Amino acid sequence: MIHTVVSGDTLYKIAQMHNTTVEELIRVNGLTRPNDLVIGQNIFIPTNTSQNGNYTVQRGDTLYNIARRYSIPLQDLINANPQIQNPNLIQIGQSIIIPNTKPNIEVNGYAIANISQETLDRTLPYLTYLSIFSHQAKADGTLTPLYENSLISNAYSGNVAPIMVVTNIGENGGFDSDLASTILNNQSIQNTLINNIISTLNEKNYYGVDIDFEYLYPQDRDSYITFLRNLKARLVPLGKTLSVAVAPKYRDNQEGLLYEAHDYKAIGEIADRVIIMTYEWGYVYGEPMAISPLSEVEAVISYAVTRIPSQKILMGMPNYAYDWKVPFVQGDVANTITNTRALEIAIENGANIMFDNRAQAPYFNYTDSNGVPRVVWFDDAKSTMARLQLVTKYNLAGVSYWTINNFYPVNWAVLDSMFNVKKVV
């Protein structure tokens, strides 16, 4: 349940209104300034459920509104509570069994190797896979080293499958089209790379590998598919998995260096999981807008499921916000901030938070200390819930977060309220 702050609201008032506590609202929403709320702020209301799936009836409750609160069919709730002789008559303080009807999904989290131990520990319970970013392929087929042994060990300790990420990031720090082309069009180099991937998987006991090759030349489309097919053939006897990250496309023949070499149908036939990077519509060098507008994300997913089996798809989820100068001028660069910091900026500047209904995303305007007007687009409980509903709507395998290097409590609280996280190790 989401409560949108209006004038005069306090956490105490909201807690009383929704039969919860101030402490619980602070915890699940990750509020760093709980005494300061801003108009338009969306507060996630946790349901009053104990670990054994029981709910204590509060004043004004009916079975109907309890079922709505937990997003379960009324008849399922009635069936789970045969001790209730009259479904229209329940008593304050009565214990109601809440059946666990949440679907099981897979959750991948990309982690940069410098993630803090505290953030990792807090996030692992919500993950199926930990994709450690990244081993970079070199022009001779070797891989850059990555000191990730402690992350792999932590992942297994948390029943999370560690995934080796291989990228075509070049020496300049960006995805390198020429580097990828060199590898993909030389069978000897390609074989060397595959051998090095297999060697690293075995040596470090990875569960599988994720290939994240971006900005490939259109003419390398078939060579890329051949590479993935050859890699998959080597992984199968080892029991290792293959996931592939792809750009967010609306159609087969979508133009652009980011899109053309990513053949959804062919990749979907080869890979065990396809991670669709459904973010960066609003990006650091572009005009201010939502990072993952629901309308665009759904357009991509509705196309993707016609080319890739839906149960292979992990939908991308961003875990960051952007702060732009306005009006936007070509060449301006947005500041990358956390969603938590975005809310703090709104509070510090007394900004009202607005919500774009088409994008299903919050934003606000403020003026910085230098007198420069700015706009921030970020994610909150409401926008997160809206996108996660696509997982159920399109029967997807789950979601993939870029990145998990900062912990945003309300994201995980919303996800936990909607799904059970599948564990594969």
Task: Count the alpha carbons within 13 Å of 140 in the hemisphere toward its beta carbon.
Answer: 2
In whole angstroms, give the CA distance from residue 386 to residue 58.
Answer: 27
> Catalytic one among 106, 214, 296, 298?
214
State how far the Cα of 49 lies from the Cα of 4, in Å rounded to an integer.
Answer: 22
Residue 9 CA neighbour count, 13 Å, CB half: 20
Scan for tokens 């992350």, then name that residue: 151
The angle that helices 381-393 and 294-304 make with each other, rounded to 10 degrees, is 20
| Three-class DSSP category at 134 | strand
Contact of 163 with 245, CB cutoff 8 Å: no
Task: Give yes or no for a contact between 18 and 65, defined as CB atoms under 8 angstroms apart.
Answer: no
Q: Mark out the alpha helices in 275-372 (DSSP H runs).
A: 294-304, 339-348
Closest CA to 1 of 424, 419, 422, 417: 417
The 3-state DSSP composition of the chain as helix, strand, coil percent (nearest 5) reads: 35, 20, 45
Task: Report whether 69 contacts 47 (CB < 8 A).
Answer: yes
∠20-21-22 over CA atoms, to 5°? 135
- Laid out side by side, the sheet with 361-367 consists of 335-337, 321-325, 373-377, 361-367, 354-356
Positive or negative torsion for Cα 97, 50, 128, 339:
positive
Q: Active-site residue 23, yes or no?
A: no
**Pair of tokens at residue 35:** 């005494």
- The catalytic residues are 214
